[in-house]
Every structure is written in C-alpha cells, then in structure tokens.
C-alpha cells in the first residue's frame, strides 16, 4: 500500500507538469483548430529564462516564475504574429509544417546561444523530505511546491476564462469565430491573448521542471511536449478540464508503469494510449464528437 501511495504522489507531480503544458495545446486548438507543435520548446525557453534569472539576476523562485511566464507570453505572441497569422486561412498542413519549423528554430537557436550541453539548474529552495507511515512514504518539498504552484496557476486560468472579458471572448471565438467577429470581438487580440496565456503556463512548467530535476538542456521540450499533446488528446483536446484530466492521468499511468514494471516501457505506454484514444474515442475522455453538415 505504501508503494502504491508513493507512486501515486510521484505520478501527480509528473502529471501536473504535463497538465500545464497540455493547457497551451488545448487552448490554441480550441480557437484555431490546429496543434502548435512548437509549444514544447516554449516550455524549454521558460526553463532557460528561469535559469538566467536565477544565476544572473539572483531572483528567487517566484521571481524566476514571473520572468519566465512574461518572456514566454511575449514569445508566444511573436510566434503567432510572425509564423501563424499569415497562414490563418491556409490549409492546416501548412500551419503544421510551420509549427515544426518554429520548433526546430527554437531548439537550434537555444543551442547556438547557450550551448548544447546540459546546465545545472540553481537550487532556488532548500530541499526537505517529509516522511509518512514510518518512513515508507517520502514527499519532497519540491513536489509540494510544484503541485501548489500548478494548482494556483490553474485556479487563475479558470478565473480568467470564466470571469473576465478576454476569457468570455476566448470562449466565444472557440465556439464560432465568424459570429464572434460579428458581435464586435477583436479576433486578432483574442488569439494573441490565447497564445500569451498558454505560453506563460508552459514557461512556468519549464521553471518547475528545472527546479524538480535540477538539469535543463535545449532539447528538453521535445518529449514532454509530445507527452503533453498526448495528455491533451487523451482528456479531450480543446477542452480545458480535459487537459487537466489527461495530464494527471498520463503522469500517474507513466509512474505506475515505471514503478511496477520498467521505466523502459513508460514512453511506449504513452504512445499506445494515444493510438487507442484515436482508434476508439478520437474526441478524448471529455471531448464531444461534432457532426458536420454537408
């Protein structure tokens, strides 16, 4: 039982990172109906901005999070304006290829300016372990920080989407872009806000991963980005609660596979989940299948 609880705690910790990244995927898809495959590399940028803010500006954890979120929000807006906006009326395959190109550009640009080697992320908090059930369950304070910050960010996101003008505009555009435009909603501004919010969450996830694993590198966003995409599809891409459900579920499943089986199979299981979801429930757990009228 103690092993089960320990793996569950580890899975929730990993799942919270997937959930934060998956939110960016699902928000962009909910409005523009395309997958921003450069999103995982925005997560990587957030880790490096947190690293630079800690090393050169001597900021604490909160300062590093704010710096990474602001920078990644601006990066998301710039990428949308330069790479995606000119292709908004183009075939989806053109936007997909562009997203892959943006991803490769960010990876190689970061290798050019920061080097290809891994960097040790600064210790922003003093590490402590909390023992429960006679020491059989160990919870690190970094896990506690990661989960608390994730919950706070999700609450803030929920408030923005449900109770602010920009949130209402985002929901309107996601339901019917043409009708939203007729109602006077600024589509370009709404899309920019969507990219900014999604990218800022990915930037926060980058700092939290650097804090938790103590190491970062220019390619660190590739696999977590794909895993977060799987989580978004699993939960129901385009549905914000689905991204949360998919992220936490995938993190827990991966951890149990590693704990009770072998860590060699966790990636295979993640991709197997994607295949099964696409075969049997393409809309995801919380998604709804929409029928198009011909």
pLDDT in tens, 179-226: 988 888 999 999 999 999 999 999 999 999 999 999 999 999 999 999
**For 53-72, what is each residue's pLDDT tens digit?**
999 999 999 999 999 999 99
Scanning the chain, the segments in alpha helix (DSSP H) are: 2-32, 39-56, 61-79, 92-114, 141-163, 165-175, 177-182, 187-213, 222-235, 240-260, 266-280
Arithmetic mean of pLDDT, 106-133: 89
Residues 93-99 have a mean pLDDT of 90
Is 287 part of any domain?
no
- Residue 172 CA to residue 185 CA, distance in Å, equals 9
Mean pLDDT, to the nearest integer, of 123-134? 83
Q: How many domains does the chain have?
A: 1
d(CA 179, CA 185): 9
Give the structural domain span for 70. 2-280
Q: Determine, yes or no, domain membership for 140.
A: yes
CATH code at position 53: 1.10.3470
- Does 285 fall in a domain? no
Residue 27, domain member (yes or no): yes
- Asked, for residue 114, whether it belongs to a domain, the answer is yes
Average the pLDDT over 102-117 and give the result.
Answer: 93
**Distance (Å, whole) CA 120 – CA 257:** 28
Band the pLDDT of 290: cuts 50, 70, 90.
low
pLDDT of residue 288: 67
How far apart CA 144 and CA 121 sit, in angstroms, is: 18
Kindly tell me if the per-residue pLDDT of 126 is higher than 90: no
Q: What is the mean pLDDT of residues 102-107?
A: 94
229 in a structural domain: yes
How confident is the model over 4-20, as a mean pLDDT? 90
268 located within any domain: yes
Write down the residue that tokens 């800690």 correspond to.
54
Checking if the pLDDT of 292 tops 60, the result is: no
Residue in 120, 101, 106, 33 with CA at minimum distance from that of residue 72: 106
Residue with tokens 């495959």: 37
Q: Is residue 293 part of a domain?
A: no
* Ramachandran angles phi, psi of 30, nearest 5°: -60, -30
Can you list the pairs that 105-109 forms with residues at least 24 positions away whose Cβ atoms lie under 8 Å? Answer: 106/38, 106/41, 106/42, 106/44, 106/45, 107/41, 107/44, 107/218, 107/219, 107/221, 107/222, 108/218
């Amino acid at each position: 039982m103690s092993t089960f609880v320990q793996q569950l705690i580890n899975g929730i910790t990993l799942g919270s990172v997937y959930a934060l990244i998956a939110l960016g995927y699902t928000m962009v898809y909910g409005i523009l109906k395309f997958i921003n495959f450069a999103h995982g590399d925005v997560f990587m940028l957030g880790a490096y901005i947190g690293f630079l803010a800690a090393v050169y500006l001597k900021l604490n954890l909160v300062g590093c999070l704010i710096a990474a979120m602001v920078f990644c929000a601006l990066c998301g807006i710039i990428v949308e304006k330069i790479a995606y906006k000119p292709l908004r009326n183009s075939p989806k395959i053109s936007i997909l290829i562009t997203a892959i190109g943006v991803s490769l550009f960010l990876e190689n640009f970061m290798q050019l300016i920061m080097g290809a080697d891994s960097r040790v992320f600064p210790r922003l908090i003093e590490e402590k372990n909390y023992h429960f059930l006679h020491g059989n369950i160990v919870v690190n304070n970094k896990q506690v920080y990661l989960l608390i910050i994730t919950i706070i960010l999700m609450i803030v996101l929920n408030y923005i989407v449900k109770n602010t003008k920009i949130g209402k505009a985002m929901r309107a555009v996601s339901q019917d872009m043409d009708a939203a435009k007729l109602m006077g909603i600024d589509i370009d501004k709404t899309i920019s806000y969507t990219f900014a919010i999604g990218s800022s969450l990915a930037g926060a996830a980058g700092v939290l991963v650097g804090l938790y694993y103590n190491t970062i590198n220019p390619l660190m966003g590739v696999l977590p980005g794909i895993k977060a995409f799987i989580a978004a599809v699993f939960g129901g891409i385009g549905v914000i609660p689905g991204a949360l459900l998919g992220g936490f579920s995938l993190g827990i499943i991966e951890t149990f596979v590693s704990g009770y089986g072998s860590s060699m199979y966790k990636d295979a299981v993640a991709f197997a989940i994607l295949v099964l979801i696409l075969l049997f429930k393409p809309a995801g757990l919380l998604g709804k299948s929409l029928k198009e009228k011909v």
